[in-house]
Structure 1
Amino acid sequence: MIFANAMGCDHKRYQKMCLKVQDGVITQITDELAQMSDVEAHQIIDVDSKLLMPSFIDCNVYPKGRTLSRKTLTSLSQKALRGGYGTLLLLPDTTPVIDSEAIVELIKSVDKDLEVHILPCIKPIFSNEGKPKLTDVSKLYTNGARGIYFQSDIEGNLILRIAQYAKMLKTPLICFAQDSSLAQGVINEGALAAKLGLPTISHKSQSIEVAKICEMLLAQEVEVLFSAIGLPRCIEIIQSYKNQGLRAHTEVSLHHLILSEQVCDDYNTAGKLNPPLPSQSARQGLLEALGNGAIDVLTSLQCADFNSQKDQVFELASFGIDSIAYGFALAYDRLFKPHNLSLSLLSKLCSHNPAQILGLDSGALEVGKKADFMVVDLAGRTPITDSFSPYCGAELESKVVMMYRDSQLYEID
C-alpha cells in the first residue's frame, strides 16, 4: 500500500512525502509518487496533502472506572483510535490489579481484537497479610507487560528493589510522585480553594516526592518516567538531576498546559484532576518548560468514570477526565497552534519519545519502522459534546480521518 501526496511529519521533519508500506513495515519514502518503485503492484491511497504523522503513544491511561474487562478495553480502544492514538500503556492499579500473569494474559487476549494496541504495565507490589510484597516482576515482563509502575510514597527499600528489577529487565520505571498524606484534599491549594472552601492538595505533595525519588535513583542506571507532573518546581528538580546523569523523563498532561484551576470555579467537577489543575501562574511556568524543552512526554491523562461519579458535590466527585477521543485535536487547537509550536515537537512528545522509553519500534516515519500512523485533516473539525468535559461545547480545529496500524487501514467518520 502506498500513501501518496501527504505532508509527512515526525520528530525530525515536516515535508511532502509518499510512503510505501509492506507487511506492516515502512519500506520506502520518497518526495514524489513518480520516484516510488513498483507502484503498479500496490494500492494507492491519495492523502491529498493532509498531514501524515506517527500515531500517538500514551503512557498514562486507565479504562473506564479503572475496571478491566473486554467491554471497557474495547471502548477505550475505539476512543483512542479517534484521537490519533495507536498504543496505550495501561496503568496497573485497576480492578483487578495488573499484578499476575493471568491478568496480563487477559489483557493480551482482548488486545488481539482491538484497533489500538494496549500494553499492560506492571504493578510490582501486592499485600500479603497486610504487608507489602514484591510480585514476580520478571514473569510479568516475560509475558508481555512493559514498564513498572509505582507510587512514590512506599517503603524506600521496596523502591530500590523495584529499581533492580527495572535495571535487570531494561524496562522503565513509571513513577507517580505524590505524598498521600499531603494529598487528602480535592483541589490545588490557593485563593480559589479558599474561596470555594474546599480541602486542598499541597504543592509539596508532589515536589518533595520527586526530589526523594530522584535522589534514590541517581546512579542506579535505570530509566524513570515521572508520571503526570503538575508543577514547574517539580520540573526544575528533575532537570537538575538530569544534569547529574539521572535518566529521567518528565510527563505532563495536555490539560495542565491548557487549563488552570479556574475551570473548577462554581464547583465544576469537570476540572477535578489529580494532580490538580494549577494556578494560572503555575500553568504559565509549565508552558515555559514546554518551550524550553524540559517536558519530554505529553499525556491525555485518560481516566474516564461513569457520569454518576462526576455528577456529585465537588468533594465526593471522582478525579479524572475522558479526553483521549480528541487528543490530537486538543493538542493542536488549544496548545501547539496558539503557542506557535511545531508539529514536529508534537510528534516528538507524543510519539517518538514514548516509543523510545517503552522500547517500541514505532514513533517515527523511517524505513524499517513499524507502520503505525494517522492521517489528519487540519482543516477539519472535532466537536466536543460531553457535558462532563471541561471542553464541552468546543469545536476543535483538525480531525483524525484515518489510522493505519498492524496492516489495517481504519477510516474514521
Structure 2
Amino acid sequence: MIFANAMGCDHKQYQRMCLKVQDDVITQITSELSQMSDVDSHQIVDVDSKLLMPSFIDCNVYPKGRTLSRKTLTSLSQKALKGGYGTLLLLPDTLPVIDSEAIVELVKSVDKDLEVHILPCIKPIFCDDDKLKLTDVSKLYGNGARGIYFQSDIEGNLILRIAQYAKMLKTPLICFAQDISLAQGVINEGALAAKLGLPTIHHKSQSIEVAKICEMLLHQEVEVLFSAIGLPRCIEIIQSYKQQGLRAYTEVSLHHLVLDETICDDYNTAGKLNPPLPNKSQRKALVDSLQSGQIDVLTSLQCADFNSQKDQVFELASFGIDSIAYGFALAYDRLFKPHNLSLSLLSKLCSYNPAQILGLDSGSLEVGKRADFMVVDLARETFIDDSFSPYYGAKLESKVVMMYRDSQLYEID
C-alpha cells in the first residue's frame, strides 16, 4: 500500500512525503509519487496533503472503572483510535490486577481482536498475609508484559529489588510518586480549596517522593518514567538528577498543561484528577518546562469512570477523565498551536520518546520501522459532546481521519 501526497511529520522532519508499506513495514519514502518504485502493484491512498504522523503511544492508561474485561478493553481501543493512539500501556492497578501470567494472557487474547495495540504493564508486588511480596516479574515479562509499575510509597528494599528486575530484563520502571499521607484530599492546596472548603492534596506530596525515588535509583543503571508529574518543582528535581546521570523521563498530562484548578470552581467534578490540576502560575511553569525541553512524554491520563461516579458531591466523586478519543485534537488546538510549538515536538513527546522507552519498533517515519501512523485533517474540527468532560462543548481544530496499523486502514468518521 502506498500513501501518496502526504505532509509527513515525525520527531525530526516535516515535509511532503509518499510512503510505501509492505508486510507492516515502511519500505520506501519519497517526496513524489513518480519517484516511488513498483507503483502499479500497490493500492494507492491519496492523503491529499493532509498530515501523516506516527500514531501516538500512551504510557498511562486505565480501562473504564479500572475494570479489566473484553468489553472495557474494546471500548478503550475504539476511543483511542479516534484520538490518534496506536499503542497503549495498560497500567496494572486494575480489577483484576495484572500480577499473574493468567491476567497477562487475558489482555493479550483480547488485544488480538482490537484496533489498537494494548500492552499490559507489570504489577511487581502482591499482598500475602498482610505482607507485600514480589511477583515473578521475569515470567510476566517473558509472557509479553512491558514495564514495571509501582507507587513510590512502598518499602525501600522492595523498590531496590524491583529495580534489579528492571535492570536484568532491560525494561523501564514506571513510578507514580505520591506520599499517600499527604494526599488524602481532593484538590490542589491553595486559595481555591480554601474558598470551596475542600480537603487538599499537599503540594509536597509528589515532590518529596520524586526526590526519594531519584536518590534511590541514581547509579542503579535502570530507566525510570515518572508517571503523571503535576507540579514544576518535581520537574526541577528530576532535571537535577538527570544531570547526575539518572536515566529518567518526565511524563506530564495534557490536562495539567492546558487546564488549571479553576475548572473545579463551583464543585465541577470534571476537573477532579490525581495529581490535582495546578493553579495558574504552576500551569504556566509547566508550559515553560515543555518549551524548554524538560518534559519527555505526554499522556491523556485516560481513566474514565461511570458517569454515576462523577455525578457526586466533589469529595465523593471519582478521580479521572475520559479524554483519549480527542487526544491529538486537544494537544494541537489547546497546547501546541497556541504556544507556537512544532508538530515535530508533538510527535517526539507522544510517539518517538514513548516508543524508545518501551522498546517498540515504531514511533517514527523511517524505512524499516513498523507502519503505525495516523492521517489528520487540520482543516476539520473535533467536537466534544461529553457533558462530564472539562472540555464539554469545545470545538477543537483538527480531526484524525485515518489510522493504519497491522495491515489495516481504518477510516474514522
> In structure 2, what is the equivalent of residue 107 of structure 1?
107
Supply the distance in 1 between the matched residues of 2:366 and 2:203 (Cα, whole angstroms).
42
> In structure 1, what is the equivalent of residue 37 of structure 2?
37
Supply the distance in 1 between the matched residues of 2:187 and 2:233 (Cα, whole angstroms).
18
Shift of 1:29: 0.2
* Letter in structure 2 aligned against 1:345: L
Supply the distance in 2 between the matched residues of 1:50 and 1:132 (Cα, whole angstroms).
51
Deviation digits for residues 336-355 of structure 1 (CA, Å, limit 9, x no counterpart): 00100000000000000000
> In structure 1, what is the equivalent of residue 255 of structure 2?
255
Shift of 1:178: 0.1
User: Segments of 4+ in structure 1 off by > 3 A?
Assistant: none
Q: Which residues in structure 2 correspond to 1:40-59 (within 5 Å)? A: 40-59=40-59
Counterpart of 2:149 in 1: which secondary structure?
A: strand
Say yes or no: does 1:246 pair with 2:246.
yes
Supply the distance in 1 between the matched residues of 2:310 and 2:136 (Cα, whole angstroms).
36
Supply the distance in 2 between the matched residues of 1:370 and 1:214 (Cα, whole angstroms).
33
* Letter in structure 2 aligned against 1:257: L
Supply the distance in 2 between the matched residues of 1:77 and 1:384 (Cα, whole angstroms).
18
> In structure 1, what is the equivalent of residue 297 of structure 2?
297
Deviation digits for residues 381-405 of structure 1 (CA, Å, limit 9, x no counterpart): 1000000000000010000000000
> In structure 1, what is the equivalent of residue 334 of structure 2?
334
Counterpart of 1:181 in 2: which secondary structure?
A: helix
Counterpart of 1:17 in 2: which secondary structure?
A: strand
Q: Which residues in structure 2 correspond to 1:64-79 (within 5 Å)? A: 64-79=64-79
Shift of 1:24: 0.3
Aligned residue pair count: 413
Deviation digits for residues 352-410 of structure 1 (CA, Å, limit 9, x no counterpart): 00000000000000000000000000001100000000000001000000000011100
Say yes or no: does 1:164 pair with 2:175.
no
> In structure 2, what is the equivalent of residue 11 of structure 1?
11
Supply the distance in 1 between the matched residues of 2:406 and 2:218 (Cα, whole angstroms).
38
Shift of 1:218: 0.1
Say yes or no: does 1:187 pair with 2:187.
yes
Counterpart of 1:396 in 2: which secondary structure?
A: strand
> In structure 1, what is the equivalent of residue 22 of structure 2?
22
RMSD over equivalenced CA pairs, Å:
0.2
Shift of 1:270: 0.1
Q: Which residues in structure 2 correspond to 1:305-384 (within 5 Å)? A: 305-384=305-384
Normalized against structure 1, the TM-score is what?
1.00
Deviation digits for residues 8-47 of structure 1 (CA, Å, limit 9, x no counterpart): 0000000000000000000000000000000001000000
* Letter in structure 2 aligned against 1:137: V
Say yes or no: does 1:137 pair with 2:137.
yes
Supply the distance in 2 between the matched residues of 1:106 and 1:347 (Cα, whole angstroms).
31
Counterpart of 2:318 in 1: which secondary structure?
A: coil
> In structure 1, what is the equivalent of residue 210 of structure 2?
210
Counterpart of 1:250 in 2: which secondary structure?
A: strand
Shift of 1:118: 0.1
Counterpart of 2:290 in 1: which secondary structure?
A: helix
Supply the distance in 2 between the matched residues of 1:38 and 1:95 (Cα, whole angstroms).
50
Supply the distance in 2 between the matched residues of 1:153 and 1:43 (Cα, whole angstroms).
54
Unaligned runs of 5+ in 1: none
Supply the distance in 1 between the matched residues of 2:260 and 2:395 (Cα, whole angstroms).
20
Shift of 1:210: 0.1
* Letter in structure 1 aligned against 2:221: E
Shift of 1:325: 0.2
Deviation digits for residues 243-274 of structure 1 (CA, Å, limit 9, x no counterpart): 00000000000000000000000000000000
Normalized against structure 2, the TM-score is what?
1.00
Shift of 1:307: 0.1
* Letter in structure 1 aligned against 2:164: Q
Unaligned runs of 5+ in 2: none
Shift of 1:102: 0.1
* Letter in structure 2 aligned against 1:45: V
Deviation digits for residues 109-154 of structure 1 (CA, Å, limit 9, x no counterpart): 0000000000000000000011000000000000000000000000
Say yes or no: does 1:121 pair with 2:118.
no
Supply the distance in 2 between the matched residues of 1:125 and 1:43 (Cα, whole angstroms).
49
> In structure 2, what is the equivalent of residue 86 of structure 1?
86
Q: What's the % identity of the aligned pairs?
A: 89
Counterpart of 1:18 in 2: which secondary structure?
A: strand
Supply the distance in 1 between the matched residues of 2:119 and 2:232 (Cα, whole angstroms).
29
Shift of 1:200: 0.1
Supply the distance in 1 between the matched residues of 2:380 and 2:19 (Cα, whole angstroms).
23
> In structure 2, what is the equivalent of residue 407 of structure 1?
407
Supply the distance in 1 between the matched residues of 2:294 and 2:340 (Cα, whole angstroms).
17
